[in-house]
Amino acid sequence: MKLDTLCVHGARRPDITGALTTPIYQTSTFAHPGVGRSTGYDYSRSQNPTREQIERRLAALEGGSGALAFTSGMAAATALVELLKPGDRIIASEDLYGGTTRLFDRVSQKNGIATDYVDTSDLQALRAVMRPETRMIFIETPSNPMMRVTDIRAAAEIAHSGGALLAVDNTFLTPYYCRPIELGADIVLHSGTKYLGGHNDTLAGFLVAAKPEFEEALRFIQKTTGAGLSPFDSFLIERGVKTLALRMDRASASALTIARALERHPRVKSVHYVGLETHPGYELSKRQTDGFGAMISFEVDSPDTACAVLEGVKLVMYAESLGGVESLITYPLLQTHADVPEEKRLALGITDRLLRLSVGVENCGDILADLENALESAPSR
Ligand SMILES: *Cc1c(COP(=O)(O)O)cnc(C)c1O
């Protein structure tokens, strides 16, 4: 089955009633048919039929042996780090989602797990920071917000040659465009809040395991630490995934048009979009992914222009998050990357002129006209 079909039907299990959609099993516990016997479900922290269904769908889409659904992307990331022990080290892409950096630096660090940050799109640099204690390479590709592209296959080889796991945050591209496990990754992470849910209405996170042994270890952590996704939220994410292919294709096509138009705009100094031929990760992306996604970051000519755009847009919403049907624009400086120390932020290119746009599924011309109006509302210099 092709991915767009899997989005609609993936791993659907027949129901005795013939229901097409997965029922919401709103129950915390399950009666035992006899002593020492189980229906397969005992208590919803361990597993719930509605959650199991969205997990099966995600595993099928990513080509993993199993998937686990969490209450948020950060809950998934927290469970992932629980695979490590004090003294172990992580290597991470240097421009990660700000929340992941905060987790590594402020929580994992105090638990004895240190992180080495490097530009993972530079394979030589990546190789150079490998140490005997490195147990996990964690990459985000394209990265947030600078859209650097990392060679997943090469990163997997580097990780495995040092006895480490490769984990890939696949939130931006989703399995519809990129399947890291096919390229050698061991674990895929998602903020299901974004494209998978797709409607800016539900928080969720996923870990997809390439092998049963990883799934088993993660199941133990999930049932012990207790951040499994609720039945209702599992239902909403499953509903979202059914239209994933449609939404991704629409938003990505618009993103390319918008990126090209922004590139020509006099108030825009640079545009970071993987689908532009001039983007340093363009050729690699064409090899390892089936699409470029709908995330764009761009630098305008001044902080005043940046603020004028944020306050001047009417259709595009000035809000955190991404991947939903509504187009959203954010200011990484004050939102997603507010916790990143200034020196590091500037070295990465996250300036007071950088904006990040998540292109939604509205009419492309309407989105563009809204952005252009907001850019033109900026005071001239
Ligand atoms: C949003 C996001 C996360 C965190 O997910 P939540 O669902 O907000 O907890 C992690 N990685 C990326 C790339 C994200 O965009």
Q: Which of 81, 140, 173, 191 for a ligand 1 pocket mutation test, highest count of atoms within 8 Å of Cβ?
A: 191
As a whole-number percent, the residues of the chain with pLDDT over 90 amount to 90
The verdict on pTM exceeding 0.85 is yes
Whether residue 340 sits in one domain with residue 255 = yes
Give the chain's mean pLDDT: 96
Q: Is residue 68 part of a domain?
A: yes
Whether residue 268 sits in one domain with residue 237 = no
CA of 332 to the centre of ligand 1 (A): 14
Amino acid at 104: F
CA of 12 to the centre of ligand 1 (A): 27
Instruction: Clarify whether 97 is annotated catalytic.
Output: yes
- The CATH number linked to 230 is 3.40.640.10
Residues 25, 97, 117, 176: which is the catalytic one? 97
pLDDT digits (tens, 9 = 90+) for 141-193: 999 889 999 999 999 999 999 999 999 999 999 999 999 999 999 999 999 99
Instruction: Clarify whether 194 is annotated catalytic.
Output: yes
Question: Number of folded domains in the chain?
Answer: 2
User: Beta strand 165-169 with 134-140: parallel, antiparallel or unpaired?
Assistant: parallel
Task: Point out the domain boundary residue: 227, 242, 257.
Answer: 242
pLDDT at 381: 66
Whether residue 188 sits in one domain with residue 215 = yes
8 A C-beta contact, residue 194 and residue 247? no
Whether residue 203 sits in one domain with residue 152 = yes
DSSP string for residues in 2-41:
-HHHHHHHTT----TT--SSPP----SB---SSTT--SS-
Domain with 327, as residue range(s), is: 244-376
Whether residue 368 sits in one domain with residue 334 = yes
Task: Point out the domain boundary residue: 242, 271, 302.
Answer: 242
Whether residue 259 sits in one domain with residue 199 = no
Whether residue 228 sits in one domain with residue 358 = no
Whether residue 49 sits in one domain with residue 146 = yes
Whether residue 57 sits in one domain with residue 174 = yes
8 A C-beta contact, residue 275 and residue 253? no
